[in-house]
């Protein structure tokens, strides 16, 4: 522990030296980083010390959340309140706020989609954003060339996402976990690089502009109303996703995914087709990404390759990791925190990715089960078969 | 009596090492057969070959499920082997640790059920009926194995002996005609071992399932088995009834020379 | 004749590139060999090595040191810093997860990589920084200067030397033996008195040091660095490591060279727009068709 500290102190040294070397405008950066290092050291000390407390405090925390989730007397009013808030939101807050919230919802759905792949089936997909790009580009290009409208593009985007998922998944899903991560990462970069360089097809780095927003049976809204409309579509999509993912998770397929994550060999020996099950998870995750990609293109009306870098995949992954792999509530919470916090805390915005990275490491080290713990999720599993069983007997 | 599993001249090479060498073995309907031998004799490798985890280098594995024609299953993927009706347990317990006991057994039902992604998403009537059936069937299996008290526990929180039995329950849930048990009594105390003895007999008598087991506990092997196969260095050195095996000088030599503890 | 010269140029260019990939790939391979973890942050170590040597070199230049001492000090300090980083990363992000599922450690590694990238971006700059050309041109290279530069020769030679030193270290020293033992079976090594923690730390330090040398060399060769170079280089070096058979040191070098040539010839004869696509495509193809690599062996999964 002490050794870690000494090196953490040395860590800032190259930056300090940069002060003596760079011009005046870099002095601020140097000094700032110096203080940041102190902060970092304090945080580290607290983390190490707090590790034990956290382990003890965990039990208390989960019981509170559990009580909220399990007790209908508390849960229902909370749900109603949430529903009212969600509906009222666009009429209370500004245009800008609605946009932010729509983006957050996009991340919720992306997180839930990736959750199927990473959280349930335990397949680390680092190129998830590629399917998102496939969806976005399919809408943009189909609209550009054939004037296809949003509602037709939505299922097509989802379908193409699924298709790409299967095409990629088929050869790579035989690979071991860590190799799979690298291949998907490579694939994600290939898609982006192709989009960037294949000018005739994707208009290269300049991207595609003037993508129409969603319409309502041919009726086009004013900018203000279109934003609200987009927000509600996104709410709908998010609800649909939660609904489906929840059902999948507690189904025969969902159980197979979890079993696969737990022990691949035992899983096969219990009669589960490894490749098929993995492919289903992979393709379903890709389907959702494709669908949200269409949504993203429609919302921003402009897409270009830099929207789909590896960093985007990393953000989605940290949503899943932060929220708790496998837990729907956790992923929603994670998505809201990670996408809203940087918007509302503007001062620290440039430290966003830094914080994401740190958060991934710290979560893995101190709390691998995520914000919403495993215990709760399993409790839910315990609950449903149990009640069914009683019906039957 | 007819053979339900017939293994002929099975050979398995790892690089230059021959782990199994021209091994012959057969199991008949409702028979309990034990496969014994010193550590490293190739017993678990044999299981892995039969259940499709390894691709045998040579030889034939032919199964004849009750009421079905004979079929050669070399090189079939593990999940297809299980679908054909061979289920196994693992020497080093491989449960789905973070799933409940019931769910572990429900996974065993996977290959006998059909609901897919679409029916799960739309919760069709078929899917709901099937889900209920899975839960019911799985619970019944747990009752048979005597684990119903743990139904909602996480697998990893189970006592050791119960974990071993859960492995058997999970395998049973796949509706096998032949159960392959890899050291089911390992790490059990005498009380648990006696219960296991009863359980295995019960499975054979009531369910009509044949059993092939690897075991080091000689008392258990001798009391349970109808026939015993002894392997050493991947080769079969003896086969016969428990009494024959006890008297067999080759077996005694192999054991005294290699593994004294095993006889205890 | 012109065709031939173009070919030679591409060949040597590929050799230089490949050598750099090989230097970084060595670190991947060693770490993977010992703890079966893809050290995602390894590319970042390389980037930090490049930055450190840049900073040191500029500071020393402003202090009026002569060129030779700058080269030696800059590379030395870069090696020391990178090793310290490698050591710290292992202690913070991997050691607590040694018995956790592999997925956890992998996610932690990715997090560490993102963290370090942004740390350098924020602490330094997100723009490309010009890197001073430190290595002087040797006279005897003059006649061949249109084909190969002094820097390229030095890069190739350094890689060869590092590889030979590493092989000697692993084959003939005590710590090398301990490393091999740990790679084979960590628990058994521990039982027979090998200080596994120390071995792992040493592995990270050596891996980081080679990455730092790579960082220093490539930075002075290309003349530009930014915070993002580690990511791309990291993936490519990983490709090299997998290509040669991960866990094998000659494999890493061979893989690096094959990758370097592939890129060089593909960009030279096909199209330069898709430079990175070739590398990624090669990676995907290798992993799908021969995951054990050129020199790797397929190992049976233990049940």
pLDDT, tens only, C126-147: 666 666 666 665 656 555 656 6
- What is the percent of chain A with per-residue pLDDT over 70, rounded to a whole number? 66
**Region C164-191: what's the mean pLDDT?**
80
Interface test with A, best of C85, C103, C298 (most A CBs within 10 A): C103
pLDDT band at C93 (very low <50, low <70, confident <90, very high): confident
**Given this model, what pLDDT does residue A61 score?**
45
| pLDDT tens digit sequence for B46-88 | 888 888 888 888 888 888 888 888 888 888 888 888 888 888 9
H helical segments located in B208-241: 218-224
C301 contacts in B (CB within 8 Å)?
53
What whole-number distance in Å separates Cα of residue A19 and Cα of residue A22? 6
The per-type count for chain A, helices as H runs and strands as E runs, is 17, 0
Cross-chain Cβ contact A4/C92 below 8 Å: yes
pLDDT band at C23 (very low <50, low <70, confident <90, very high): confident
How many C-beta neighbours within 10 Å does residue B36 have? 26
H helical segments located in B33-123: 43-50, 78-84, 101-108, 117-122
CB pairs under 8 A between A and B: 129
What whole-number distance in Å separates Cα of residue C271 and Cα of residue C265? 9
Q: Which residues touch A295 (CB under 8 Å, ≥6 apart)?
A: A106, A109, A135, A154, A230, A233, A234, A237
**Region A35-42: what's the mean pLDDT?**
61
A270 contacts in B (CB within 8 Å)?
79, 82, 87, 107-108, 110-111, 170-171, 174
Of C120, C75, A380, A272, which Cα lies nearest the Cα of B113? A272
Domain range enclosing C244: 2-289
**Given this model, what pLDDT does residue A69 score?**
55
Per-position b or e across C28-58, b if 16+ CB within 10 A of its CB: bbbbbbbbebbbbbbbbbbbbbbbbbbbbbb
Closest chain C C-alpha to B137 CA, distance in angstroms = 29
**Across chain C, what does the average pLDDT equal?**
77
| pLDDT tens digit sequence for A151-162 | 888 888 889 989
pLDDT band at C293 (very low <50, low <70, confident <90, very high): low
Whose tokens are 């998010």? That residue is A238
| pLDDT tens digit sequence for A173-217 | 777 777 788 888 888 888 888 888 877 777 777 777 777 777 766
pLDDT band at A370 (very low <50, low <70, confident <90, very high): low
**Region C272-287: what's the mean pLDDT?**
75
- What is the percent of chain C with per-residue pLDDT over 90, rounded to a whole number? 0
What whole-number distance in Å separates Cα of residue A184 and Cα of residue A42? 37
CA torsion angle A298 A301 A303 A308 (round to 10): -50
Terminal Cα-to-Cα distance of chain A (whole angstroms): 56
B187: left (phi over 0), alpha (psi -120 to 50) or beta: left
Whose tokens are 């054991």? That residue is B255
Selected residue with higher pLDDT from C10 and A24: C10
**Across chain A, what does the average pLDDT equal?**
72
- Segments of chain B assigned to CATH 3.40.50.300: 1-85+176-264
Q: Which residues touch C105 (CB under 8 Å, ≥6 apart)?
A: A364, C37, C94, C97, C98
Of B215, B229, B193, which Cα lies nearest the Cα of B262? B215
B54 contacts in C (CB within 8 Å)?
300
C280 contacts in A (CB within 8 Å)?
186-187, 189-190, 193
**Given this model, what pLDDT does residue A249 score?**
81
Q: Is residue C127 part of a domain?
A: yes
A248 contacts in B (CB within 8 Å)?
117, 120-121
Cross-chain Cβ contact A124/C106 below 8 Å: yes
| pLDDT tens digit sequence for A56-67 | 444 444 445 555
**Given this model, what pLDDT does residue A12 score?**
43
B130 contacts in A (CB within 8 Å)?
252
pLDDT band at A368 (very low <50, low <70, confident <90, very high): low
The chain C residue lying nearest A174, using CA atoms, is: C288
**Region B143-168: what's the mean pLDDT?**
84
pLDDT band at A21 (very low <50, low <70, confident <90, very high): very low
Q: Given a cut of 50, is residue A7 above it in pLDDT?
A: no
- What is the percent of chain A with per-residue pLDDT over 90, rounded to a whole number? 2
**Region B180-191: what's the mean pLDDT?**
87
The chain A residue lying nearest B170, using CA atoms, is: A270
Q: Given a cut of 60, is residue B12 above it in pLDDT?
A: yes
Report yes or no: C103 at the B interface, CB cutoff 8 Å.
Answer: no
Cross-chain Cβ contact C303/B90 below 8 Å: yes
pLDDT band at A236 (very low <50, low <70, confident <90, very high): confident
Alpha-carbon distances of A322 from B120, B248, C48, C106, rounded to whole Å: 27, 63, 27, 15
**Given this model, what pLDDT does residue A24 score?**
42
Q: Given a cut of 60, is residue C302 above it in pLDDT?
A: no
Cross-chain Cβ contact A21/C55 below 8 Å: yes
B44 contacts in C (CB within 8 Å)?
303
B14 contacts in C (CB within 8 Å)?
300
**Given this model, what pLDDT does residue C124 score?**
65
- Coil, strand or helix at A282: helix
What tokens appear for C123 in the block?
């602490």
Nearest Cβ partner for A251 among B82, B108, B120: B120
**Given this model, what pLDDT does residue A16 score?**
46
**Region C35-50: what's the mean pLDDT?**
82
B254, B61 contact by CB (below 8 A): no
Q: Is residue A72 part of a domain?
A: no
Interface test with B, best of A252, A261, A381, A382 (most B CBs within 10 A): A252
B107 contacts in A (CB within 8 Å)?
255-256, 259, 267, 270, 272
Domain of C141: which CATH number? 1.10.3470
Cross-chain Cβ contact A259/B102 below 8 Å: no
Report yes or no: C303 at the B interface, CB cutoff 8 Å.
Answer: yes
A268 alpha-carbon distance from chain centroid: 29
Interface test with C, best of A54, A115, A167, A361 (most C CBs within 10 A): A361
Nearest Cβ partner for A18 among C55, C117, C242: C55
- Coil, strand or helix at B17: strand
| pLDDT tens digit sequence for B94-114 | 888 888 888 888 888 887 877
Most confident range (mean pLDDT) of A111-115, C12-16, C41-45 is: A111-115
Cross-chain Cβ contact A259/B174 below 8 Å: no
- What is the percent of chain B with per-residue pLDDT over 90, rounded to a whole number? 1
**Given this model, what pLDDT does residue A390 score?**
41
Q: Which residues touch A155 (CB under 8 Å, ≥6 apart)?
A: A291
A64, A376 contact by CB (below 8 A): no
pLDDT band at A35 (very low <50, low <70, confident <90, very high): low
**Given this model, what pLDDT does residue A384 score?**
42
What tokens appear for B85 in the block?
């009706």
Q: Given a cut of 50, is residue C101 above it in pLDDT?
A: yes
**Given this model, what pLDDT does residue A73 score?**
60
Cross-chain Cβ contact B135/A256 below 8 Å: no
What tokens appear for A90 in the block?
């666009």
Strand pairing class (C224-225; C129-130): antiparallel
Selected residue with higher pLDDT from A317 and B16: A317
Interface test with A, best of C84, C234, C284 (most A CBs within 10 A): C284
Q: Is residue C72 part of a domain?
A: yes
Nearest Cβ partner for C110 among A3, A11, A314: A314
Q: Is residue C129 part of a domain?
A: yes
How many C-beta neighbours within 10 Å does residue C195 have? 14
Nearest Cβ partner for A258 among B90, B99, B123: B99
Cross-chain Cβ contact A259/B107 below 8 Å: yes
Nearest Cβ partner for B99 among A262, A391, A392: A262
The chain C residue lying nearest B94, using CA atoms, is: C303
How many domains, in total, are found in chain C? 1
Cross-chain Cβ contact B94/A389 below 8 Å: no
Q: Is residue A44 part of a domain?
A: no
- Residues facing residue C213 across a β-bridge: none
Q: Given a cut of 70, is residue A101 above it in pLDDT?
A: yes
Chains that touch C (3 or more CB pairs under 8 A): A, B
Domain range enclosing A180: 96-388
Q: Given a cut of 50, is residue B193 above it in pLDDT?
A: yes
Cross-chain Cβ contact A270/B82 below 8 Å: yes
Q: Is residue A13 part of a domain?
A: no
Report yes or no: C300 at the B interface, CB cutoff 8 Å.
Answer: yes
Cross-chain Cβ contact C284/A187 below 8 Å: yes
Chains that touch A (3 or more CB pairs under 8 A): B, C
Cross-chain Cβ contact A269/B132 below 8 Å: no
Q: What ipTM was estimated for this complex? A: 0.84
Nearest Cβ partner for C276 among A11, A193, A359: A193
A122: left (phi over 0), alpha (psi -120 to 50) or beta: left
C231 alpha-carbon distance from chain centroid: 11
Return the biggest CA–CA distance within chain B: 65
Cross-chain Cβ contact C300/B54 below 8 Å: yes
DSSP state of B173: T
How many domains, in total, are found in chain A? 1
C300 contacts in B (CB within 8 Å)?
14, 54
B179, B171 contact by CB (below 8 A): yes
- Coil, strand or helix at B22: strand
Most confident range (mean pLDDT) of A73-77, A133-137, A337-341 is: A133-137
3-class DSSP string for A76-136 = HHHHHHHHHHHHHHHHHCCHHHHHHHHHHHHHHHHHHHHHHHHHHCCCCCCCHHHHHHHHH
For domain B1-85+176-264, give its CATH number from 3.30.499.10, 1.20.20.10, 3.40.50.300, 3.40.50.1220.
3.40.50.300
Cross-chain Cβ contact B152/A386 below 8 Å: yes
Report yes or no: C130 at the A interface, CB cutoff 8 Å.
Answer: no
A158 contacts in B (CB within 8 Å)?
none
Report yes or no: B90 at the C interface, CB cutoff 8 Å.
Answer: yes
Closest chain C C-alpha to A357 CA, distance in angstroms = 4
Q: Is residue C40 part of a domain?
A: yes
Helix%, strand%, coil% for chain A, nearest 5: 85, 0, 15
């Amino acid at each position: 522990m002490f050794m870690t500290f000494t090196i953490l102190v040395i860590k800032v040294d190259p930056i300090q030296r940069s002060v003596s070397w760079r011009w005046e405008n870099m002095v601020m950066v140097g000094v700032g980083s110096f203080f940041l290092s102190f902060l970092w050291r304090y945080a580290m000390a607290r983390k190490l010390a707090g590790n034990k407390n956290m382990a003890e405090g965990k039990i208390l925390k989960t019981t509170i959340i559990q009580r909220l989730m399990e007790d209908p007397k508390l849960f229902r009013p909370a749900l109603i309140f949430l529903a009212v808030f969600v509906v009222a939101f666009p009429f209370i807050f500004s245009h800008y706020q609605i946009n932010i919230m729509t983006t957050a919802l996009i991340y919720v759905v992306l997180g839930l989609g990736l959750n199927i792949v990473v959280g349930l089936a335990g397949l680390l997909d680092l190129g998830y954003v590629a399917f998102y790009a496939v969806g976005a580009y399919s809408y943009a290009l189909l609209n550009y060339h054939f004037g296809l409208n949003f509602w037709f593009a939505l299922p097509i985007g989802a379908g193409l996402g699924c298709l790409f998922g299967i095409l990629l998944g088929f050869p790579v899903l035989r690979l071991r976990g860590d190799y799979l991560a690298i291949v998907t990462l490579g694939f994600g970069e290939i898609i982006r690089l192709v989009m960037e360089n294949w000018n005739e097809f994707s208009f290269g780095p300049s991207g595609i502009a003037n993508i129409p927003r969603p319409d309502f049976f041919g009726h086009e809204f004013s900018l203000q109303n279109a934003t609200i409309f987009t927000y509600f579509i996104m709410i709908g999509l998010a609800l649909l996703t939660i609904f489906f993912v929840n059902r999948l998770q507690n189904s025969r397929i969902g159980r197979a995914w979890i079993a696969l994550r737990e022990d691949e060999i035992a899983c096969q020996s219990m009669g589960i087709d490894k490749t098929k099950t993995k492919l289903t998870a992979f393709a379903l995750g890709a389907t959702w990404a494709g669908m949200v990609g269409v949504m993203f293109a429609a919302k921003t009306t402009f897409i270009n390759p830099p929207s789909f870098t590896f960093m985007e995949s990393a953000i989605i992954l940290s949503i899943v990791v932060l929220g708790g792999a496998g837990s729907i509530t956790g992923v929603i919470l994670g998505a809201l925190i990670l996408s809203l916090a940087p918007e509302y805390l503007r001062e620290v915005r440039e430290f966003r990715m830094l914080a994401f990275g740190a958060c991934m490491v710290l979560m893995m080290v101190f709390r691998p089960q995520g914000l919403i713990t495993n215990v709760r999720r399993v409790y839910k599993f315990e609950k449903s078969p149990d009640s069914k069983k009683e019906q039957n007997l | 009596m007819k053979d339900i599993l017939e293994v002929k001249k099975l050979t398995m090479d790892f690089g230059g090492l021959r782990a199994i060498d021209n091994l012959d073995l057969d199991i008949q309907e409702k028979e309990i057969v034990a496969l014994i031998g010193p550590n490293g004799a190739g017993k678990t490798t044999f299981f892995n070959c039969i259940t499709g985890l390894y691709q045998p280098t040579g030889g034939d594995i032919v199964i004849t499920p009750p009421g079905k024609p004979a079929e050669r299953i070399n090189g079939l993927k593990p999940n297809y082997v299980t679908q054909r009706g061979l289920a196994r347990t693992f020497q080093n317990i491989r449960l789905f640790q973070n799933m409940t006991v019931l769910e572990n057994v429900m996974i065993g039902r996977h290959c006998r059920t059909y609901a897919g992604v679409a029916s799960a998403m739309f919760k069709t009537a078929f899917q709901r009926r099937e889900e209920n059936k899975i839960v019911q069937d799985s619970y019944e299996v747990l009752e048979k194995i005597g684990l119903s008290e743990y139904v909602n526990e996480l697998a990893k929180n189970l006592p050791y002996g119960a974990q071993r039995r859960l492995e058997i329950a999970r395998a049973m849930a796949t509706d096998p005609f032949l159960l392959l048990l890899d050291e089911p009594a390992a790490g059990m105390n005498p009380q648990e071992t006696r219960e296991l003895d009863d359980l295995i007999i019960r499975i054979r008598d009531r369910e009509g399932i044949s059993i092939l087991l690897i075991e080091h506990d000689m008392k258990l092997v001798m009391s349970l088995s109808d026939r015993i196969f002894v392997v050493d260095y991947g080769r079969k050195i003896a086969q016969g009834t428990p009494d024959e095996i006890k008297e067999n000088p080759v077996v005694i030599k192999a054991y005294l020379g290699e593994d004294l503890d095993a006889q205890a | 004749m012109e065709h031939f010269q173009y070919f030679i140029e591409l060949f040597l260019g590929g050799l230089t590139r490949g050598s750099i990939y090989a230097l970084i790939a060595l670190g991947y391979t060693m770490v993977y060999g010992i703890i079966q973890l893809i050290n995602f942050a390894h590319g970042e170590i390389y980037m930090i090595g490049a930055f450190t040597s840049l900073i040191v070199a500029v500071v020393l230049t402003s202090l009026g040191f002569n060129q030779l001492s700058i080269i030696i000090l800059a590379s030395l300090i870069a090696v020391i810093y990178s090793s310290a980083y490698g050591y710290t990363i292992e202690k913070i992000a991997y050691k607590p997860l040694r018995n956790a599922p592999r997925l956890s450690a992998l996610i932690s590694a990715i997090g560490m990589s993102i963290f370090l990238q942004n740390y350098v971006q924020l602490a330094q700059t997100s723009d490309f920084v010009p890197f001073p050309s430190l290595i002087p041109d040797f006279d005897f290279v003059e006649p061949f200067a249109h084909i190969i530069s002094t820097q390229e020769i030095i890069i190739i030679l350094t890689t060869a030397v590092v590889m030979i030193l590493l092989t000697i270290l692993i084959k003939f020293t005590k710590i090398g033996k301990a490393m091999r033992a740990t790679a084979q079976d960590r628990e058994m090594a521990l039982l027979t008195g090998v200080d596994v923690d120390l071995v792992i730390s040493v592995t990270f330090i050596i891996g980081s040091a080679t990455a730092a040398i790579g960082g220093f060399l490539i930075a002075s060769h290309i003349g530009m660095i930014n915070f993002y170079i580690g990511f791309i280089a990291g993936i490519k070096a990983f490709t090299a490591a997998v290509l040669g058979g991960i866990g094998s040191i000659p494999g890493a070098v061979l893989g690096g060279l094959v990758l370097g040539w592939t890129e060089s010839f593909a960009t030279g004869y096909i199209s330069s727009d898709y430079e990175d696509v070739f590398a990624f495509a090669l990676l995907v193809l290798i992993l799908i068709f021969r995951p054990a690599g050129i020199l790797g062996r397929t190992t049976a999964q233990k049940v």
